Structures are given as C-alpha cells and as structure tokens.
Structure 1
Amino acid sequence: MLQLGEIDRADPRPPYRQIAAMLREAIESGGLEPGAKLPSEAALMEHFGVARMTARQAIQELRGEGLVIAEHGRGVFVRPMPPVRRLASDRFARAHRAAGKAAFLAEADKAGYQPGVDRIRVARAGAPKGIAERLRVEAETEVIVRERRYLANGRPVEIATSYLPVPVAGGTPVEDVDPGPGGIYARLEDAGHTLERFTEEVGARMPTPDERNALEIGPGVPVLTVVRTAFDTEGAAVEVCDTVKAAPAYLLEYDFPAR
C-alpha cells in the first residue's frame, strides 16, 4: 500500500510541490509502478489537509514532467514506460547486416524486446535544404524518401525518415516497402556502395503535435533527435536518416578510443 508522508510547514516549498515530490519519489522507487493509479484529488486533500486546487497543482506538476497521464473518467495513472533501448555504437556493424538484421533488429536482440515497424511509406520527393546539404546535392533535388515508425513490445518509440540519392538507390529494393534482410544498408552494399562510416548529430526538444501523436506520448515528454549520415568508401553521402525518438525509451551509448 502506498505510504505518503506529511507536509512540512517549515519547508520553503509550497505544499503542492511537496506533495508532487512525494508522489515523484513513489514513482521513481517503484512504490507506484507503471500503470498504477495515483491517489485521487479527494484522497490527497484528505491525507494532506489541503484544498482541491493544491492537490490538482501537485498532479499537474507530474503531468508536466511526463510522469503521469490522465484518462478521462478513470483517473490519473503512472505513465507506462516502453523498454529502454541502448543505442550502442556498433549497431550498424556489417556483421549484423550479414546476419540479415537491420539495426533495429540487432538492438532488439541485445535488449530483449519484440521489435516492430509500421507506417512504412516510400516515395520520391524534393530534398529539404538541410538534407540536401548533407547529401551534397542542390535543394529540392529528387531523392528517395522512406518513412517508418518503430515499436518495442508494441509501443511506439521512434519515427524515422531516410533520404537517399536516386543515382545511388533508384531502381533497387531500397524503393520497396520491404527492402529485404539486413535492411537498406545491406541493399546499398549490394549495389556497390560499401559503407565506411557514419556521423550522427544528437539533439533534444519538445515534440510537435504530430510527433506526439505518432509516438503516443503526452505533454511534457521530450524527444531525442538523431540525424545520421552514412558515407561509402568513396566518401559519398549515400543516406541521411532523420529520427525522432521518445526520450524515456532510450539511452545513448558511444564507445570511442582515447587518442
């Protein structure tokens, strides 16, 4: 049973923040597990001897942090957290492609979750300015655009859009909805573009409304942005992948020599 303390009148923090801190500690310690229902406003009012507005402000603070979600007519619940995916620096290793696994499948094996992908769309369109610069082509040059959403144990964790030059990947299985074992990187190498290195630009921000809907996250939950550029052995940029990841679902891990 959830045990909550009492408000300390000598504490400089306002009562609603003290209540929020107790509930936050219960969530972080596992006293309130993912999916558990929080005490109602009435229960908080009775336990702490506060007004309804104080109880409501405490819950609103947790909602703003993305720790809880409100369900109309049912109450407020601890947000169910998707499995943590550790993004290791070896996730694009050729050995994974040789085994028929794209990066997401390789990560699934390591983390022990059931991978999924949906909302796959493949088309040709003009390259946006930032993408064109990374691909070293003129803005609005026609490129192959692959959009998809990734899921871990059925929960959305990432949306990704890849942009590939038509001279590199046009007319290959890269333009198919299912590019085959090993994913698009395996198909690029089949086409003679042996991959040599990747660069990644990592950022963080709040999601757009469309991103929030696609990732099924509520207000107050940030996203990580990772823009990756793949280069072949000739030094040509053969793909730019723009990804938006639900921040609570990821840890970024990088391994590089000290030299």
Structure 2
Amino acid sequence: MAESPSLPDLDPISDRAVFRQIADHLREAIERGQLAEGDKVPSEAQLMQHYGVARMTIRNALQVLQSEGLTVAEHGRGVFVRSHPPVRRLASDRFARRHREQGKAAFIAETEGAGGKPSVDSIEITEVKPSPDVAERLKIGPKDRTVRRSRRYLINGQPVETAISYIPVEIAKGTQIMQPDTGPGGIYARIEEKGYRLDHFVEDIKSRMPLRDEVRALRLAPGVPVFHLVRTAYASDGTPVEVCDTVMSSDAYVLSYELPAR
C-alpha cells in the first residue's frame, strides 16, 4: 500500500475476529509512530486490497479505533489519527498567588504556558441553593444560598473543560464574581480582595465516560473519557470559600502532581 505503514498479514489460525486483528495492526502502527497525529489512515479500499476482506469488515475495524478515541472520521476526507495537544496541568503551581498578582487566572496561565490561546464562553451566573454535597463541602446550612458561576473553557477555539463554581453569597455579593468578566486574576483574586486569603485546595478526581450533554459541550470523539474533578478552596482560617465542579476532556490534559516525600 503506497504511502502507508507496513501492516502485517492476517493470522489465519487465530481465534481473534478478523476486524479486531486489523484494528490491532492499525493501533500498533499508531502506537509506534508509523501513523503520527494528524496522519490519514489507509483508505477502506487500500485496506480491503491489503487484507482481502469485505468493506464492512474494514469499517468495523475502523470503528474500534474511533471508539477508543484514537482516530476521527472527517466526512469526505477520510479517517485521521486524532491529535492530542495536551496542556500540562501542574497541580503544585496552577493556583500560585503570583499568577493572580500578574492578573492571570489559573486556566489562562497554564494554557498560555503551553503555547495555546485561552478563551471562555457560555457564562451563566445565578443565585441557587446548592446540592447537599456542595453545602457540606462549604460547611453551610441547608437553607443558605450560593452564587453559581457556570462556564466553558476553550483552547484555540476547542472546548476542553466545563466548570461550575459555587461561592457563598456573602463572599460573592458586591464583587465582580457576579459579572461575566471577573477581572484580573479571576474568582480567586476577588475572593482574596474580600479578605479571605487563600491557603490550600482539596481536589477529588475520578475518570468516567461523559454524559450526553458533556459530549456535546466538549465536542468529544466517541470513546474519549472525561476527568470529573471537584475542588474546594480554603482560606487561611480554614473557611471553605468555593467549590468548583469541573469536567475535563481527558485527551486535552496531562494531570501533573508534585508530592513531598516526608
């Protein structure tokens, strides 16, 4: 096959289904770099000729790769190896005060550090009674209300993350937290201006498959899971000042942590 990776022949005595053998061969070519990010996968006709199988067998093999998030089909152009331009999310650095002092929120600082162009859209601000879980994390009563800030983050125009912050009303009221543009340094800069000096953050992270609305919001390819992260921000006196419920496209981020050995 011209301008294609060297693919092995089918194993006639294998008990593995033919379409899965073909998927295995293509996956190995991707993992070895014979098919790099953005490269076009051999066409159905090329694969049919090489393996001597029906078109439906080839389509089933390609569907396996797409369901694993390794490839993406572009109508009228073919199937391509999916690009994964990850942002390294440095847990030990992203909320450093120096970023806020420079007028940059965490997402802006880390995205620009990776050479990307950050943007935010779908901003919604409402006053709500939080869920029992959020209320417990904020240590507020069942009748207390919070300001809910929902937004979507994009890198180079590609959605990568949705986030919903819950801030106690007495902290958010009278600040730019109530406005679409929270100002230099973002939410945390405004919270510190209210006298709540941030001390530490606690994050709970799990990986799962996305819900239908999350697939739509993040434009996820089939088979791509998400990171579901819930973060609680604490002031120096131990007061919880914000809970942020975040859903992140797993192929857009590398989660990096520095842990002390003491």
TM bucket normalised to smaller: over 0.9
Map 1:244-259 to 2 at 5 A.
244-259=247-262
SS in 1 for 2:41: coil
Aligned partner (choices 191, 212, 217) of residue 215 of structure 2: 212
Question: Can you list the C-alpha shifts for 1:194-233, whole angstroms capped at 9, x where unaligned?
Answer: 0011000010101111100111112211000111000001
Question: 1:167 maps to which residue?
Answer: 170
Partner of 1:59: 62
CA deviation map 1:218-253 (0-9, x unaligned): 221100011100000121110001110000111111
Counterparts of 1:119 and 1:33, CA distance in 2: 33
Deviation at residue 29 of structure 1 after TM alignment: 3.5
Change (3 A) 1:112 1:71: closer
- Range that drifts further, 234-243 or 121-130: 121-130
Secondary structure class of the residue paired with 1:151: strand
Residue number among 104, 107, 119 corresponding to 2:107 in the alignment: 104
Match of 1:92 among 87, 92, 95: 95
For structure 2, list consecutive stretches of 5 or more residues without a partner in the other structure: none
- TM-score scaled by structure 2? 0.92
5 Å matches for 1:233-248?
Answer: 233-248=236-251
Distance in 1, matches of 2:193 and 2:260, equals 30
For 1:133-180, what per-residue CA distance to the aligned partner results, in whole angstroms no more than 9, with x for missing partners? 111123463211111111112211111111100011212111111111
Partner of 2:187: 184
Q: Does the aligned pair in 2 maintain the 1:132–1:140 contact within 8 Å?
A: no
Given that residues 128 and 140 in structure 1 are in contact (C-alpha distance below 8 angstroms), is that contact kept between their aligned partners in structure 2? no
Aligned to 1:40: 43
- State the shift of 1:80 in Å: 3.5
Amino acid at match of 1:153: N
Q: Structure 1: which 5+ runs fail to align?
A: none
Residue 248 of structure 1 aligns to a residue whose secondary structure is: coil
Task: Report if the CA contact (8 A) 2:4-2:42 is conserved.
Answer: no
The aligned amino acid for 2:197 is: T
CA RMSD of superposed structures (Å): 1.7
Tell me the SS of whatever aligns to 2:53: coil
Structure 1's consecutive aligned runs of 4 or more residues displaced over 4 angstroms after TM superposition are none
